[in-house]
A and B are shown apart, each in its own frame.
Chain A
């Protein structure tokens, strides 16, 4: 767990947003112009939105800079559970990659086991719950709703 200062985090976020807006604004010059003179082209609305957003982000930045660290808001910190954040993000991205390689059954079961083992007292309970949850998801989404998930072996054993 990280204890982050809100003021510092907000400043970093605002600066990153401004950098992103500048990059996106530059990108709008690659959009095709309007086919008819006098009509809005593909870049018209994005530029309006990006300029307005940049303006409010700058206001946010200035207001955040104005907060002294001694004030309650400026000095406030918050807990950031970075391990849970990274494991959630990484787990889902790994699942998406594994889906095409090892199929839905193994990737889904493995992700459930990885997340449930630290959360429940018994490893066997976690494994059993993972297997059941995988079967339920397979039954609902594949068998009943006909979702086309990449499958490895379950259709050979469980099919309608």
Chain B
């Protein structure tokens, strides 16, 4: 801590230079644009921009990457809100309430809440990063395979929050998601459910499942839209400024939501593995649990956007904690950031804070400056982005479809992914017509590998003895939380069904 404060002035001097500020502004703009493109998450954006860092100093390179990563997490929410197409995997949860808000003529309000929540998450998590980096890094390292398996089981237990009013169909969707995650290499030797298709050997990428299950059904709906569709926003009607205003009063009301989301995002970010998607899911679920009106979630409420957005932006600072303090990358994007530092001759790890304290301090200050730049760029952009919601749906349809098709293709330059996405989309659209929730498919897809891989690892470590489920304290606590979460869900469902 003292080492960091000692480096405050040199770091401030470095970050205050016009070149550094320009690099960060560029990073924010690039991050928002790439984050908004389907198929380009934070990791892909950083990988694309890696060559541009070759001529940068270590501080500028690190700040450029931090700006891109943070802005991409915000950028992903823009298409999620406007066209029900999450730009990044973490924005999949934002779709639930963000898109209904846009459909109700409150696109600008949803975008502003997403922006302010993201900025709040970035700022507060940056301070947590400064004051609690060492402690959180230690907690993160206590999570071995058995704890991660328990985290996965806990994640599975909270999917029930996304079932809506028909739990049976929600369980069916969860089963479908778990099945999709098992396609490809098993991790135990041998292939599963590939049916001799080379395209399935590597399984289905998460981005393909997200685009297929969340974005493609919306494309099918858009393609079905006719002239004068009543779901279009009335172009002759002026935008209701009052309805779209986000003032201090509303932000004050959302403060507890933002704080909860930020804390969840920072802690989840500090644990190597789960990442921004799991943090958004947890934050949304907890917000629903805290809310006096949980039944309103999914219909387009402010808290449903604020919670996941504050969490997935807080993950950026959170994931920097184990990365810089211990050299353990918490996500693909952070692994690329570490790669940049290593290429510049800086070794992340416990000694980084002593040997390159000014760099760590610059990253901390950079997170704050990035949040401010994000606020400025995002505020200007919201006005432009919100116009998309006013385009008639039948005209918008082909453009969204092609954006998704090319975005999916560009993920790995592979046509088979486009075929997977459209087939999955057609299936998911049919399931939605059957009133089956499709979000559990995506969530189960994210969680299955966490459970299976870590169960296998834990069993190997413990010699096939399953007693680790009851002997390791953190594992036990997480499993108890999972049981409590399930029971709470059942009690809530029962009380809801008995109410008139």
Contact = CB atoms under 8 A, between A and B. Distances in A.
Interface of A: 6, 9-10, 13, 17, 24, 27-28, 31-32, 34-36, 38-43, 45-46, 49-50, 52-53, 56-57, 59-60, 63, 78, 80-81, 84-85, 87-89, 91-93, 95-96, 99-100, 108, 111-112, 115-116, 119-120, 133, 137, 140-141, 145-149
Interface in B386-444: 394-395, 397-399, 401-403, 405-406, 409-410, 413, 415, 418-419, 422-423, 426, 429-431, 433-435
A22 to B, nearest CB: 13
Interface string B223-241: 1100000000000000000
A85 B418 contact: no
Contact of B422 (A27, A63, A92, A120): A92
Given A119-B398, A137-B406, A88 B434 contact: no
B189 interface: yes
Given A49-B175, A56-B168, A35 B188 contact: yes
A60 B422 CA distance: 26
Nearest to A76: B435
Interface stretch (B68-76, B178-186, B249-257): B178-186
A40 B455 contact: yes
B48 A146 contact: yes
A interface SS class = helix
Contact of B433 (A9, A56, A84, A146): A9
21 contacts: A9-B434, A31-B192, A32-B189, A34-B188, A46-B179, A49-B182, A53-B172, A53-B179, A63-B168, A84-B220, A84-B224, A89-B423, A93-B422, A95-B418, A112-B398, A112-B402, A119-B397, A137-B402, A141-B410, A146-B48, A149-B413
B192 A41 contact: no
Contacts of B431: 13
Contact of B179 (A40, A43, A49): A49
B244 interface: no
Contact of A42 (B34, B192, B195, B459): B192
Given A56-B171, A100-B415, A39 B402 contact: no
A92 B401 contact: yes
A156 to B, nearest CB: 21
Interface residues of B, dominant DSSP: helix
A13 B434 contact: yes
B402 A111 contact: yes
Contacts of B286: none
B176 interface: yes
Given A31-B186, A88-B220, A59 B397 contact: no
A96 B404 CA distance: 13
Contacts of A50: 175, 179
Size category of the B interface is: 35 or more
Contact of A92 (B186, B405, B410, B452): B405
B480 interface: no
Given A42-B188, A89-B422, A27 B193 contact: yes
Interface in B354-409: 394-395, 397-399, 401-403, 405-406, 409
B219 interface: yes
B16 interface: no
B169 interface: yes
Contacts of A31: 186, 190, 192
A120 B395 CA distance: 7
A45 B419 contact: no
A88 B219 contact: yes
B285 to A, nearest CB: 21
Contacts of B179: 24, 46, 49-50, 53
A111 B402 CA distance: 9
B464 interface: yes
Contacts of A141: 406, 410
Given A13-B430, A60-B169, A39 B460 contact: yes
Nearest to A43: B192
Contacts of A63: 168
Given A13-B434, A108-B402, A96 B190 contact: no
Contacts of A149: 406, 409-410, 413
B432 to A, nearest CB: 10
A88 B418 CA distance: 13
Contact of A115 (B401, B422, B455): B401
Nearest to A140: B37
B402 A32 contact: no
A40 B224 contact: no
Contacts of A46: 179, 182, 192-193
A92 B407 CA distance: 13
Nearest to B395: A119
Nearest to A53: B175
Given A42-B189, A84-B223, A60 B433 contact: no
B465 to A, nearest CB: 10
Contacts of A116: 395, 398
